[in-house]
């Protein structure tokens, strides 16, 4: 459909976001209210506080998105919203708002899976990208190696057995005194360190070569720090950050390249908050170039939670006939590919 305008809402964690997206690939506005400063003092997201702040900010954010796009609500063709996975209270705020708008303005309601949104962020800045392709989804809650067979059709080839990569980044950041949010801070500090200084383990799952495990490398870092303290050895935090980051990135890239070869896919994409990590982007780009694969990634601003990616995913859901009634509910543990 030409010129289809979707108002998208995202509130799955600690960003209150709204965007107006035209035909899945053109972003007319993308407004985000971030709660990072609010949660930093607690060392992580506090669900109750996040939900209350969403309630306070969601209407101003939507108003700003419509104003920035210069599109009145009556000219919007559909309302889209993230309904899972995420924090249940945070999701409920977005879902309730989207249902109210859809009902009041007589617009169709499109439910969107949060991870499908992250994958779809690649369509916004890479207009030429079409399925099938391979996507490495890396965030605080997910580490999925996904074969995107078609729009809205996903096959998970590999997943983490314990910590997600972003979760491991946050825990290691806390252990070396960097605080929250951990991912960007580890990335920044790692640039000053030697990635080969400390030999942290790379986990491989027997019988599941494309699956991941990051609790071992996280534990190895904690053990290394404790051992240094016990022996009164000075800790080089930059070396710890760089060596840990390299251990995680090596596994992510290695498994992605294995999957691309196994499934004969020559297009590789990154998605999710950790997709903004500079070492991961550089290593994945180099591995793809070496093999002649085409590499796609969203700009860092579209890797973190935003509503533009939800609007992109919603367009393809709409074309497939996906609609929700006013009984739509938040599903905090929604699996990729479920409807």
- Multiple choice CATH, 131-300, 3.30.420.40, 3.20.80.10, 3.40.50.920, 3.90.180.10: 3.30.420.40
Q: How far apart are the C-alpha atoms of 145 and 21, rounded to whole Å?
A: 27
Please, are residues 248 and 169 in contact by the beta-carbon 8 Å criterion? yes
Q: What does the domain layout of the chain look like in residue ranges?
A: 5-119+303-319, 131-300
Q: Percentage of residues in the chain with pLDDT exceeding 70?
A: 100
Alpha carbon 42 to chain centroid, angstroms: 22
pLDDT tens track for 241-289: 999 999 999 999 999 999 999 999 999 999 999 999 999 999 999 999 9
CA 277/CA 45 separation, integer angstroms: 20
The alpha carbon of residue 65 and the mean position of all alpha carbons in its chain are separated, in whole angstroms, by 21
Q: Tell me the pLDDT of the chain averaged across its residues.
A: 95
User: For residue range 229-239, what is the model confidence (pLDDT) as tens digits?
Assistant: 999 999 999 99
Give strand pairing partners of 268: 134, 295
pLDDT band of residue 110 (cuts 50, 70, 90) is very high
Asked whether the domain spanning 131-300 has the same topology as the one spanning 5-119+303-319, the reply is: yes
How would residue 1 be classed by pLDDT, with cut points 50, 70 and 90? low
Residues 6+ apart with CB under 8 A from 67: 29
| Whole-angstrom distance, CA of residue 140 vs CA of residue 163 | 9
CATH node for 5-119+303-319: 3.30.420.40
């Amino acid at each position: 459909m030409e010129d289809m305008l979707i108002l998208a809402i995202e509130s799955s964690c600690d960003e209150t976001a709204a965007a107006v997206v035209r035909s899945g690939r053109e972003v007319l506005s993308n407004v985000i209210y971030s709660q990072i400063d609010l949660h930093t003092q607690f060392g992580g997201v506090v669900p109750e506080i996040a939900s209350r702040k969403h309630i306070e900010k969601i209407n101003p954010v939507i108003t700003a998105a419509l104003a920035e796009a210069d599109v009145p609500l009556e000219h919007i063709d559909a309302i889209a919203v993230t309904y899972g996975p995420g924090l249940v209270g945070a999701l409920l705020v977005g879902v309730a708002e989207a249902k109210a708008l859809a009902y009041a303005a007589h617009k169709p309601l499109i439910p969107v899976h949060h991870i499908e949104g992250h994958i779809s962020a690649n369509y916004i800045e890479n207009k030429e990208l079409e399925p099938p392709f391979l996507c490495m989804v890396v965030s605080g809650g997910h580490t999925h190696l996904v074969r995107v067979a078609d729009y809205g059709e996903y096959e998970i080839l590999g997943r983490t057995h314990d910590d997600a990569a972003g979760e491991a980044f946050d825990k290691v950041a806390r252990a070396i005194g960097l605080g929250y949010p951990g991912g960007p801070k580890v990335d920044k500090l790692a640039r000053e360190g030697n990635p080969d200084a400390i030999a942290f383990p790379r986990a491989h799952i027997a019988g599941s070569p494309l699956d991941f495990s990051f609790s071992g490398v996280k534990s190895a870092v904690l053990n290394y720090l404790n051992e240094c303290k016990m022996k009164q050895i000075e800790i080089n935090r930059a070396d710890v950050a760089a060596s840990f980051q390299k251990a995680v990135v090596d596994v992510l890239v290695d498994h992605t390249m294995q999957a691309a070869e196994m499934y004969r896919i020559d297009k590789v994409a990154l998605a999710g908050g950790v997709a903004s990590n500079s070492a991961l982007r550089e290593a994945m780009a180099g591995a793809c170039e070496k093999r002649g694969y085409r590499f796609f990634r969203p700009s860092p601003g579209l890797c973190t939670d935003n509503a533009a990616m939800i609007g992109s995913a919603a367009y393809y859901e709409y074309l497939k006939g996906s609609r929700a009634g006013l009984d739509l509910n938040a599903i905090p543990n929604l699996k990729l590919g479920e409807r």
